[in-house]
Amino acid sequence: MALDNLSTNKGHNRAVISVANLNQMARRLLEGEFPMIWVEGEISNFVKPSSGHWYFTLKDSSAQVRCAMFRNRNQVQKVIPKDGLKVLVRGKISLYEGRGDFQLLADTLEDVGDGELLRTFEELKVKLQKEGLFDEAKKKSIPELPAHVGVITSPSGAAIQDILNILKRRFPAIKVSILPVQVQGKGAEQKIREALVFANNYTKPPFDVLILTRGGGSLEDLYPFNSEITARAIGETNIPIVSAVGHESDTSISDLAADLRAPTPSAAAELISPDQYEWNYNLERNKQRLNQRMSIVLKNNLAHVRHLKKRLQHPRQRLQELNQRLDNLELRLINKSRFDETKRKIERVQQKLIDNINNKMTTNNNHFMSLANRLDTLSPLATLKRGYSITSPTGERGKIITNANNIKKRDAIDIRLSTGIISAEVKKIYD
Amino acid sequence: MTKQNHYPFEASLRRLEELVEQMENGELSLEASLKTFEEGIKLTRECQLALKQAEQKVSLLVEKNGEQPFETD
């Protein structure tokens, strides 16, 4: 039911609502109308029942209001309420419907005294920032693996135990030296400064990194880490410094002045130490790479040697080849000389033959000439020259008529004389 | 401890990485490869052993009294 509906219903048409409805509507109105607000007052009637929620009354000289702070919110508060404490409460206005109590649902509590500290903190922060004390360029880098770590903190606090546990787990080989200091209260900032100077000059062995730390606390507790003295001492130290002060949400002046800020002491220990498992993994990987490379080098060299060995065998074969060739040439040489000899022999024989034939020819020619001469003397031609003649039947010149009985009357005959032939006819035959 | 042990791990690991790179990039001779390999493996063993055997050493440094052992849990 809406409020405007209620206001129009008047007279005998009045609408009646339950108390529960009334309180519910009032609560919605209050919660809707008021933004998140800050209220200043003094705490009284503070109770903390087993539920874990906080209940108290906030009052000033003339008024008071009920306040509730639920467990999920009060767990993150730095200020622990107590009766009489002046505080600033941030919260929403609401109404507890069961009792009809108007109340403030607190979200954040601040000690009024802290307001002063906060102002000082902010002023100092601005001043040092202007001076360049927080400049990024001034920040020293944190070594990858420090050999010697100095922890400036309370030796009895939880912070040092957290740091030692983390370092032991991550990299036990890192040497840790604790520079015990008072971390809160009057003069603590001087002790911190002295520890920083001491660490800066320490050489047995020198520090590779420093952790300046303390656990959570009130703004007042944290004051030494927000002081100008601490900030300047950090700035004058030559060793890289990791600062881890208070809870994760706090940022102190020393965090800003340090080379690296860690949200918690444990985180600081993690930031400065490598993980030994990672290192072991790296070592193992490098070893594998070495092994791989080595086996490749060996394989390549072996292959090269094998190749060379193969090539080394060649000369023997070549020697054999050359030998063979030599043999071959020798044979050919021998053959050639034999051939030449034969050729010469043949030529000699040929010459002899030619000579022989020529001789024979000459001889034969002479013989022939003598024979021809003799023949000439025996030839009928010579007889014919002396006046004889040869008679043959006509047409049969090879046939010589030596007997008159071999021819008949009227036969045609040829009579060969020394010069010329007479053709005649047989007239008469005489015995 | 000796000077060499001031940065035992960091220097060793850096050297080891250098050796691996030399092996992987350079055209090392067989002899040089073997030397590099030997040194690398030796470094690896030393580092692994040192990591395995490392025990946390914690001491309390007090300006006047010097170094004192610190009891840890």
Minimal CA separation from A132 to chain B, in Å: 31
Taking 90 as the threshold, does the pLDDT of residue A74 lie above it?
Answer: no
Residue of A163, A168, A171, A286 to mutate, testing the B interface (most B Cβ within 10 Å of its Cβ): A286
Q: B37: which chain A residues are within 8 Å (Cβ-Cβ)?
A: 290, 293-294, 297
Contact: A290, B19; criterion CB under 8 Å: yes
**Beta-bridge partner residues of A424:** A413
**Is any Cβ of chain B less than 8 angstroms from the Cβ of A168?**
yes
Structural domains of chain B, ranges and CATH numbers in brackets: 3-64 (1.10.287)
Minimum-distance CB partner of A167 among B34, B47, B56: B56
Confidence of residue B6 (pLDDT cuts 50, 70, 90): very low
**So what's the architecture of A17-114 in CATH?**
Beta Barrel (2.40)
pLDDT given at position A197? 95
The number of C-beta contacts closer than 8 angstroms across A and B is: 108
What are the pLDDT digits (tens) for A84-94? 888 999 999 99
Q: B67: which chain A residues are within 8 Å (Cβ-Cβ)?
A: 177, 204
Report the C-alpha gap between A151 and A144 in whole angstroms.
17
Over chain A, what is the mean pLDDT? 87
- A387: which residues sit within 8 A by CB, 6+ positions away? A418
Minimal CA separation from B3 to chain A, in Å: 10
Taking 90 as the threshold, does the pLDDT of residue A416 lie above it?
Answer: no
Give this prediction's pTM: 0.55
Of A141, A158, A132, the C-alpha closest to A216 is A158
Among B residues 3-22, those touching chain A with beta carbons less than 8 Å apart: 6-10, 13, 16-17, 19-20
Most confident segment among A38-42, A352-356, B9-13 = A38-42
Right CATH for A119-274 from 3.40.50.2300, 3.40.109.10, 3.40.50.261, 3.30.1490.190 = 3.40.50.261
Report the C-alpha gap between A254 and A214 in whole angstroms.
11
Q: A150: which chain B residues are within 8 Å (Cβ-Cβ)?
A: 61
Report the C-alpha gap between A236 and A232 in whole angstroms.
6
Is the CB of residue A216 less than 8 Å from the CB of residue A78?
yes
pLDDT given at position A10? 53
Taking 50 as the threshold, does the pLDDT of residue A47 lie above it?
Answer: yes
Among B residues 54-73, those touching chain A with beta carbons less than 8 Å apart: 54-63, 67, 70, 72-73
Is the CB of residue A154 less than 8 Å from the CB of residue A180?
yes
Is the CB of residue A178 less than 8 Å from the CB of residue A160?
yes
Report the length, in residues, of chain A. 431
| ipTM score over 0.90, yes or no | no
For chain A, how far is it from start to end, CA to CA, in angstroms?
Answer: 205
Percent of chain A with pLDDT over 90: 38
Q: A284: which chain B residues are within 8 Å (Cβ-Cβ)?
A: 44, 48
Half-sphere exposure of A404 (CA within 13 A, CB side): 7
**Is any Cβ of chain B less than 8 angstroms from the Cβ of A299?**
no
Does the fold of domain A119-274 match that of domain A17-114? no
Where are chain A's structural domains?
Answer: 17-114, 119-274, 277-378, 379-431
**Is any Cβ of chain A less than 8 angstroms from the Cβ of B1?**
no
